[in-house]
């Protein structure tokens, strides 16, 4: 009986054995071959809804597909096909791009960095586009509207200064780690509480010097905090060759 | 804690969790028509286009002419 497939990742075929990892909901993970590409997937009758356990399992399978020399190309959660033939034809249609992306990420991992203002930081820290309830309550009476608008304008200006500072700091950091990264992706939106955010693709042999470079960058900086997460599978670089 | 230690547990686990969600739901190879939207890297809204369309058709049929719905 035909069943659907939930996809985890792509990698060069027959290089890593999927038998030792379990997929979402404890399902078995199998490798289907599309020419020289291996597709790690779990037979799955219908598209699984995302929840925390499944998301973690999805990530775990992708990590299990990677070694120091083979780096799997992650599928975004939710890639499910009812028919194997449809899945194969879709992958076949983009196979040159996937091969290019696999070459690009081979032997490398992703690190995520976020630059944030130090918690001891500046007076600009509280403004994140919202006025607190107590502030809003204090704004009453004649002239209150004008004062409220001035405050919004001031907060917007402070935000712009902060993000501009984040961009220039990030550029400085990227110059420092350029020799240890294969590729860098800067997030256009840093996210709540951050002033800059980026993903770095780092080859395995350069991980330690990369960390050392980040540590050197942060030395003596008191107004900034650096959040480093990883190593991750190369989620942020999986669209290499297919992105516009 | 060393600021450069990967933050996968402890008080900063939320950071790693947000990063995980952001990656698994919003990045990676896409070959089907499902869409994930992230807001501020925290609030995530998952839209299955086919589900959305079928829901819209259902809604449309229930609120169409003759149903009395406004």
B68: tokens are: 């009395």
The answer to whether the Cα torsion of A239, A181, A8, B56 is positive or negative is negative
What is the pLDDT at residue A144?
81
With a pLDDT cut of 70, the percent of chain A lying above it is: 82
- Confidence class for position B58, pLDDT limits 50, 70, 90: very low
Q: What angle do CA A30, A32, A34 make, to 5 degrees?
A: 160
Say whether the peptide bond before residue B62 is cis (omega within 30 degrees of 0): no
The CA distance from A236 to A240, in Å, is 9
Please report the DSSP string for B5-67 in residue order: S--SSGGGHHHHHHHHHHHHHHSSB--SSEEEEEETTTEEEEEEHHHHHHHHHHHHHHHSTTS
Contacts of B25 (CB under 8 A, 6+ apart): A50, A55, A76, A77, A78, B36, B38, B44, B46
Is the separation of the CB atoms in A28 and A43 below 8 Å?
A: yes
pLDDT of residue A119: 64
ipTM of this model? 0.76
Which residue, A63, A69, A60, is CA-closest to A103? A69
Say what the pLDDT of residue A149 is: 85
Query: pLDDT tens digit string along B2-51?
Result: 333 444 555 456 778 888 988 998 899 988 765 555 444 444 555 444 44
Q: Which residues are A224's β-sheet partners?
A: A117
Q: Determine contact, residues A75/A9, Cβ cutoff 8 Å.
A: yes
Compute CA distances A6 → A33, A46, A53, A93, A138, whole Å.
15, 8, 15, 19, 54
Q: What is the pLDDT of residues A110-166, one digit of tens each?
A: 999 988 877 654 433 433 444 444 455 554 555 788 888 888 877 777 666 666 677
Query: For testing the chain B interface, which of A177, A197, A235 should be mutated: the one with the most B CBs within 10 Å?
Result: A235
Interface of B with A in 22-41 (CB under 8 A): 22-32, 34, 36, 40-41
Within 8 A of B42 by CB-CB distance, chain A residues are 191-192
Rounded distance between C-alpha atoms, residue B7 and residue B16, angstroms = 6
Give A66-84 pLDDT, tens digit per residue.
Answer: 988 899 999 999 999 999 9
Cβ contact, residue pair A59, B34, below 8 Å: no
Residue B53 reports pLDDT greater than 70:
no
The pair of structure tokens assigned to A225 is 């905090």
Q: Is the pLDDT of residue A31 over 90?
A: yes
- DSSP H/E element including A112: strand A108-117
Structure confidence at residue A187 as a pLDDT band (50, 70, 90): confident
pTM of the full structure: 0.73
Q: Give the pLDDT band (50/70/90) at residue B69.
A: very low
d(CA A234, CA A109): 6
Q: Do A59 and B21 touch (CB under 8 A)?
A: no
Cβ distance A215 to B42 less than 8 Å, yes or no, reads no
Is residue A61 within 8 angstroms of chain B, CB to CB? Answer: no
Spatial separation of the C-alpha atoms in residues A138 and B18, rounded to whole Å:
35
Reported as half-sphere exposure (CB side, CA atoms, 13 A), residue A156 has a value of 6
């Amino acid at each position: 009986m035909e069943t659907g497939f939930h996809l985890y990742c792509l990698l060069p075929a027959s290089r890593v054995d999927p038998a030792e990892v379990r997929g979402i909901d404890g399902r078995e993970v199998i490798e289907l071959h599309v020419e020289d590409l291996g597709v790690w997937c779990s037979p799955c009758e219908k598209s699984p809804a995302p929840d925390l356990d499944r998301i973690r399992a999805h990530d775990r399978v992708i990590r299990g597909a990677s070694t120091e020399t083979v780096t799997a190309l992650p599928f975004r959660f939710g890639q499910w096909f009812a028919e194997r033939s449809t899945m194969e034809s879709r992958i076949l249609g983009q196979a040159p791009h996937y091969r290019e992306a696999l070459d690009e990420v081979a032997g490398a991992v992703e690190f995520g960095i976020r630059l944030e203002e130090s918690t001891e930081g500046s007076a600009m820290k509280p403004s994140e586009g919202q006025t607190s309830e107590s502030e809003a309550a204090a704004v009453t009476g004649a002239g209150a509207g004008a004062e409220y608008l001035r405050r919004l304008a001031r907060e917007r200006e402070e935000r712009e200064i902060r993000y501009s500072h984040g961009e220039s700091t990030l550029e400085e950091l990227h110059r420092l780690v350029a020799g240890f990264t294969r590729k860098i992706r800067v997030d256009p939106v840093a996210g709540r509480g951050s002033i800059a955010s980026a993903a770095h693709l780092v080859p395995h042999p350069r991980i330690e010097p990369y960390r050392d470079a980040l540590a050197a960058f942060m030395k003596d900086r008191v107004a900034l905090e650096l959040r480093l997460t990883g190593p991750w599978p190369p989620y942020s670089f999986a669209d290499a060759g297919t992105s516009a | 804690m060393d600021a450069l230690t990967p933050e996968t547990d402890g008080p900063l686990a939320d950071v790693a969790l947000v990063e995980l969600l952001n990656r698994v739901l919003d990045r990676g190879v896409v070959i089907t028509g499902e869409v994930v939207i992230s807001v501020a890297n925290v609030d995530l809204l998952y839209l299955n286009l086919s589900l959305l369309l079928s829901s819209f058709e259902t809604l449309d049929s229930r609120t169409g002419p003759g149903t009395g719905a406004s």
